[in-house]
Structure 1
């Protein structure tokens, strides 16, 4: 319900840019953990999925390569 409300609000206000909800890519279908988002449930509302990868350590090379690795 929240996802549909947000996407509908952007479009109703005249937004023509693609709409995304952000971190929905790391939902239960991908990670096995339920974060409250479902790619299957939100697919009909969004134009693209934009996964975010956050740093969790201090190793600089690993930080820079981790996002690409996780998205593969």
Structure 2
């Protein structure tokens, strides 16, 4: 499966602006682009975005998330 930036934002319950900001601060990797130049997000991007959103909702700052959570690492450890 693949989604556009708008679609992945809607699936995760966040804004398009937030997704772009997470790219800027390094919390979300840039996906490959389709032939038309649009980003093509996959399941791993969605899982990562859901994790970041959940941690933000719990009150963690983006700096705390960036410092403590690596790809594949559970935030509770």
- Give TM-score, length-normalised by structure 1: 0.27
Flag the structure with larger Rg. 1
Q: Which one has a larger percent strand, Structure 1 or Structure 2?
A: 2
- Give TM-score, length-normalised by structure 2: 0.25
